[in-house]
Chains A and B, each alone.
Chain A
Amino acid sequence: MTINTDGLSAQQIAQAVTDGKLSALDATEAALARIAKHDSVLNSFTDVTADRARAKARAVDAAIAAGQKVGPLAGVPFAVKNLFDVKGLSTRAGSKINRDLAPSPRDATLIERMEAQGAVLVGALNMGEYAYDFTGENVHDGPSRNPHDTTRMTGGSSGGSGSAVGGGLVPIALGSDTNGSIRVPSSFCGIFGLKPTYGRLSRARSFPFVASFDHLGPFARNVGDLARAYDAMQGPDADDAACTTRPVEPITPLLVEGIDGLRVAVAGGYFQRNVFPEAVEAVARVAKALNATKTVEIPEAARARAAAYVITTTEGASLHLDRLRKRPNDFDPAVRDRLIAGAMVPAPLVDRAQKFRRWYRAKVLELFRSVDVIIAPATPCIAPKLGQVNFVLDGVELPVRANIGIHTQPISFIGLPVVAVPIPLVPMPIGVQIIAAPWREDIALRVAHALERAGVATAPLPRGL
């Protein structure tokens, strides 16, 4: 008898595969069938690697048949944002230009580590061009669509990752987060996302955007799966200059430790301005569940967001300078015009931003002497409509694109670990950031797990999926 894997967690799939109740090949075929059935609407995948996936799944099944040990992700289908190198594919990074690159000779480190634990890569996912995006829209591949309402944005830039996991096509996806690109799609698509500490997970063989801020991390529909994926991917990597040499610190066994004794505070000031009622409600629910009565002021958060913006636009411009010269008409015009402007920001202002970053880091780390966790909105709003340009907040018309990431940017600016947890408001979910001190992903994940157990943070499958 074949088990129906629709809606199963990665842990449930891996357990069934390991116990011989489900073959990895059947789990893979089921994921491929879900993609075939639903992705014409969701548009989350740009590449489906069916042959490779079947070969990997057969290898997992053969290992089990031979009595060999398989990893905790045995037979678990997963997919990656298309800025990860996938052997045999050109790493398009959401662009038209990169399609002319030679096929990658080797997988990204994180794909290798996921597959070493038995996971099965089934494809590459849609994203905003060169990750310079908060919407999930893409002029070349079309927008990824929100599984809760396909007329709405997924958020970006890891839009396909949000859509594929939120829509239940795969239980785990990987994405990148430079200024919010894991946390924003998590919020809009109603799923869990982990942006680890800067330097925690290797970025080797992924297409960069802003070296100072680029992070990679997982998405899932429950905290246990998020932790398992994260644990599978930890470890030093000489191929990423920023990757830590800290030893692997497995989190999964720690989730059950609970949150007794943890000091939780709500981010005040900047993080309570420019938010829609849904974001206020979501933070209030989390604060109540965690008995967080204290408010902390993250100092100069608006300036931190400004500095993140300046460093992003200039490092991004530096990365793409030659492409801007040679193939300007092959960019999304909106991305091109932002990058050209970024190339024109005077160098002393960028240096000032990096110096401010040092100052701000010290001030925020001081806060973590008196609190263990800070909670803040992940996005100021629920998912806007596709193509929406402005929204009205407190009577003021504001541009959507520029404001989606206002609450994520001051956090990734200094590389703090964050779990975005989904609060299932009706009709659309919205996320809350669970922010911890550097290298304390364990704390953020334990808090997320407690919220999940309390029923406050959940990622139910949308109707029809």
Chain B
Amino acid sequence: MRIPCPYCGSRDLSEFVYHGDAAPKRPDPAAENASELFYTYVYLRENPAGPLRELWYHASGCRSWLIVTRDTRTHDIAGAVLAMESAS
């Protein structure tokens, strides 16, 4: 598999580390139900068949965390952006 790193260009899968679904956001630790929110954040993931925005770390390249949109059925990659510059 090749991943299009926004900084480095198309790179081999072996340069990256996978981190999973990019949707969960670290909850507010001051929230009243923080322990529930964190439990969900740490452990619960959807497992959709289809396009998924995922976190990947370009460990052997520019050391950027990326949000890669990958179809989990086909491994087709629609695009990748730097997590730091991602609006969401």
Is B a genuine binding partner of A?
no
| B interface residues (Cβ-Cβ under 8 A, vs A) | none
